Amino acid sequence: MSRENVPNQNKNETKGFLKNVEKIGNALPHTAMIFVILSLIVIVVSAIVAAVGEPVTYFDAREGAEVTTKAVSLLNADGLRYMFNSAVDNFIGFAPLGTVLVVMIGVGLAEWSGLIETSLKKLLIGVNPKILTAVVVFAGIMSNIASDAGYVVVIPLGAIVFAGAGRHPIAGLAAAFAGVSAGFSANLVIGSTDPLLAGITNEALKSAGLDYSITPTANWYFMMASTVLLTILGTIVTEKIVEKNLGPYTGDYMPDKAEITPLENKALKNAGIALLVIVVLFAFLMFPKNALFRTLDEATGKMTLNEFLNNGFLSLILLLFLIPGIVYGKTTGKIKNSNDIAAGMTSGMESMAGFLVLVFFAAQFVSYFTYTNLGTILSVKGAELLESIGFTGLPLIIAFILVSAFLNLFIGSASAKWAIMAPIFVPMMMKLGLTPELTQVAYRIGDSTTNIITPLMSYFAMIVVFAKKYDEDSGIGTLISTMLPYSMVFLLGWTVLMILWYVLKLPLGPGAYIHM
């Protein structure tokens, strides 16, 4: 066989493999029913493990104490009562539900008024098509500073931007999803994840009696470099694999190709002024030393924006879409009174019906998995297995990344897994001459890269709904097969970067090094 034929063969094999993944996944029942089936599996497995499994004991770095956990059965009186009594609370307490519905009030009106469509036309006129993919991936990575806002803002906008550029909208959705979720830990600035994980690491060090602590900036240099790397890798995967596998878009969604009228330009200018006023106002509320939105962080004794970024930022996102949308609609004449404003906000909710049905069953599944302690037990057993292997140095770091990536398929919370794993691995690796900063950064690589291929990730069901807007036949199989190349390439590329960092002995952050 000639060398010229090898690339085509590899490409066809890759496409064939991903197509098989898609076919298998989409041959399954409706996504809501899949979560019902998964819930039934958890119910049965919980009963078996509760009956024959042994309790596990570990140090929980969040609690600062040793905890003994055993599997809890759902097939007994307490379990049955829990499933029925908690169903509504599971639904309304499911993290993505409130996030999506609140933001969609503003996004729905902005879309209904025409602001989003006109803004994207303007954007596409000014953006070089060659860097469009990179911009979408980069925006997704940077969005994690605003907690979960990227899931409900950047991902759907990625699809719309690609559609407006004549490209497959699901490719745009995938590129944004990869940036937001698979690149979750990377950023050019310090976000809320950094102090959260650093606090757990320090508690693990304290529990082991080690006189050592790390700062929230412990991984900053490495994460800045990771942002650049993941943007490049995400762009390559989107353009060389995902778009080719998806093929030409044949769905019903077709963006308006008409030119921007003078009235629309005027409305866009007025909306931009309104947006600027909101940004300036909130800058005064956020950034001065004693700003109203700053609260005292008891761990550091400093006034920070962590609480606002984690809880209040979504309200700001709502206003950033809602008020400019109203101004745009008033200028064009589409909004004449309060009835039109209400109609615009309602339009955003009309598309959420399928999402609400899906979320109800997804919420039960995630809740059952948490209640039964199966994820915690799996994490503890996985950590113990890796500890017993006896690796040292670079092989240990690579194995730790892979185990973290695997466990992330079953327990999505970064802080929950780290609270279990940090007390085991941080002291162990310190004894082997590896710093806690290095252990933490290795964990973050594994924890991020598999977010996009597990239905246990809170926002996974929502992304399936977004994809169905552009392809009614898409399902879990479509999403997993689309995102799998990102997950594999990000995991490999990020690990290689870690290896280079280790070999070159570069600092991970200010005063944070590889070896003790």
For residue 500, the Cα-to-chain-centroid distance in whole angstroms is 26
251 with 470: CB under 8 angstroms?
yes
Angle at 441 between CA 502 and CA 377, to 5 degrees: 125
CA atoms within 13 A on the CB side of 101: 13
What are the backbone dihedrals phi and psi of residue 68, each rounded to the nearest 5 degrees, phi first?
Answer: -110, 125
What DSSP string runs through 343-391? HHHHHHHHTTHHHHHHHHHHHHHHHHHHHTTHHHHHHHHHHHHHHHH--
**Domain chopping of the chain, boundaries:** 3-504
User: Beta-carbon neighbour count of residue 483 at 10 Å?
Assistant: 25
Other Cβ atoms closer than 10 A to 196: 18
Eight-class DSSP state of 453: G
**Angle at alpha carbon of residue 400, lines to 386 and 61, rounded to 5°:** 85
| Mean pLDDT, each 10-residue run in order, the chain (516 residues) | 36 56 65 84 93 84 80 94 94 79 84 82 70 90 73 83 87 93 85 78 80 86 95 95 87 70 92 94 88 79 76 82 93 93 87 79 85 84 77 86 88 76 83 89 92 82 84 80 93 96 92 85
Interatomic CA distance for residues 268 and 362, integer angstroms:
39
Supply the pLDDT for residue 409: 84
Chain-centroid distance, C-alpha 242: 19
Return the H-helix or E-strand segment holding 59: strand 56-60
What H or E segment, with its residue span, contains residue 36?
A: helix 31-52
Strand-pair category, 65-69 with 302-304: unpaired
Q: What pLDDT is recorded for position 235?
A: 96
CA max distance for the chain: 72
Tokens 């407006």 found at: 164
Torsion 93-99-100-105 (CA) sign: positive
pLDDT in tens, 195-250: 778 888 888 888 777 788 888 888 999 999 999 999 999 999 999 999 988 888 88
325-381: pLDDT as tens digits: 999 999 999 999 999 999 999 987 877 777 788 789 888 988 898 899 887 887 788
Count of C-beta atoms within a 10 Å radius of residue 458: 20
Q: What's the rounded Cα separation, in Å, for the pair 322 and 309?
A: 19
